[in-house]
Amino acid sequence: MTSGYPWWLPWRHVPLGCPGCRQRVTFAVWTRLAGGRSAYSQLCLACGHATSEYLWPRNGRMREAPVSGTDWSPPCVAVARLRRAVFSPPLSFPE
């Protein structure tokens, strides 16, 4: 691992219990995606419960309903979106 992209993302502890296992080891991060979208992602380190929500650029008021899941292989929609949000290069990252 490295301290560079994508591991430097500013993950923050969520003090609420995980909806899947009730443990208090959930972390969340905001990321930017292509097209001006933002993504809010949560991940429980105990059970792998993932939640992902997209926010669209129309005055920051357009949101998709959050999706949640725990299937990592093959990934459910929530896990696929979380992976996309975390591992997509930032907009200013040179390819």
Residue 58, token pair as written in the block = 């129309």
Would you say the C-alpha torsion 44, 9, 60, 14 has a positive or negative sign?
A: positive
pLDDT band at residue 39 using 50, 70 and 90 as cut-offs: very high
Name the 3-class secondary structure at 62.
strand
Instruction: Determine the residue type at 51.
Output: T
The answer to whether the CB of 27 falls within 8 A of the CB of 45 is: yes
Q: Does pTM surpass 0.85?
A: no
State pLDDT tens for residues 43-71: 999 999 999 999 887 665 777 889 999 99
List, in sequence order, every residue forming a beta bridge with 54; answer none if it has no partner: 39
